[in-house]
Structure 1
Amino acid sequence: MIPAIRSEFRKFFTTRLWWGMAIAVFVSGGAFAVLFGFVVQNPQSAGGPGADPVVADDTQVATTIFTAGISVGYLLLLTIGILSVGSEFRHKTITATFLATPKRVRAMLAKAVSLAVIGVGYGLLSLAGSVSVGSVVLSVIDRPAFPSSEVVRSLALALLVLALWALIGLGIGILIPNQVAALFIGIAVAWIVEPLLGLLLGIWDTTRENVVPYLPTSATNATLNAVSQNPDAVRLEWWGGGLTLMAYAVLLAGFGIWRTSRSDVS
């Protein structure tokens, strides 16, 4: 298992993808910290004249600013997860992978483990950018950077969130072997379709409570204790959001690994 995991790390870090993504994650963390700091400082800019402040609690203000970059980070980790297996199908290197590690389940579990570690690593980069810049922003708007231990908890959970989204990407990449189609569908659903679906479903009270909180994006925001633009939105507790997102990752990645172990590879 260890050699297989080491091989997956070597595949990832011998390409230019890793440092390009690293720059994007770090920069987005800092940039979104500034953007959300502006929204906090000028709350009416988000809802128009006369709007109520978007956030008021010091803990949620700090948490939202520090984890703002995760909204881009999880899409990048989703992309990495898809590419980790999609590129192997596209370039026909999956055969060599299974020849080197004949037990397919072991080979795919090695991918899952390496992606989880990579997700945590990128999470640290994202937080490095957002916390360093966000601390300055919070000082400027006269808010404490770490008003409670909940902020530290949310930062730790941000690492888990990115690792889980990488595993979700792995599952999508396996279930949709065409790399381009997998990227298009995965990003479109996570970035556009699913948030819009949550917005539309939120119109009906029954789905607002029974469906919307369990959508991936809603579960991600609940896990991070991020501020919602809709004050009437029903959301899970942080642990409920984490378990929901984990269920998506286990279901998609687990089913994908099971399917790969039984399908023909050319």
Structure 2
Amino acid sequence: MSREKINAFKNNVPTIPDGFADANFEKTWQRTDKPVQDARSNRSWVWGPAIAKGQYEPYGGSTRLVQYFDKSRMEVNNPNGDRSQPWFVTNGLLVVEMIRGQVQIGDSSFEQRIPADEALGGDPRAINDVAPGYSSLRDVLGAQPDKTGQTIATQLKRDATTSAIDAPSVVTNAKFVSQTSHNIPDVFWNFMNQRGTVYENGRFVEGQVIDWVFAFGYPLSDAYWMRAKLGGSETWMLVQAFERRILTYTPTNSAAFQVEMGNVGQHYRRWRYGN
């Protein structure tokens, strides 16, 4: 963007409020995470806490409003769009960008970076030297056959290699996604289609917790076992990459928190902007 355009934008940019940067960000967050915050539901976060104020990022020769949360990023690509539509707020393809090492700055424009080595699950990379990173996924993105009903018994390592193992827990593939030719295991498929308490129109109601295509996008890989440090101790975790999110399954966690979303928003912001 030229200096003239940047200055013109700065002179006309709306002030970003503290807290939620947009009313629709708050509405989107509250639907799934207010029940967790208010202890009305015993499940893991969908978005998690905001980790930064809203900001404008360059996109398509202009800018767009975004805000980073622990698990993802919310964005408004068309501020003049229909605010009543669920896709007025989207969350970006952050996992795709970190695996490829490409920051998307337009519909077909990218800024090249080194692929991210943030740990896919467990403790942060600084104290988690065993877990694979986003770059470790580079060789497992190819199309796979339908493996519905098959037990998952392959480990992904930090050096991007895979090997057959004795599965630490019996997890089987439950859904084949033809759009990307990858399999989703039962523990993740059940999590993605769970019903529970959500917050809509100012009240708590029962409903489908997640629209999984909106929240996750399609799977980029099959699921793999990995070793990761969690609370300083090494353990087994199952991990799967989706376009927008990372899902992990830790058999040793309590039932409500065995499946969790990776800290993709935190990882991406650190990868893009530094600490």
Q: What TM-score comes out, normalization by structure 1 length?
A: 0.28
More helix by share: 1
Larger relative contact order (C-alpha < 8 A, sep ≥ 6)? Answer: 1
What TM-score does the superposition give when structure 2 sets the normalisation length?
0.28
The structure where strand makes up a greater share of residues is 2
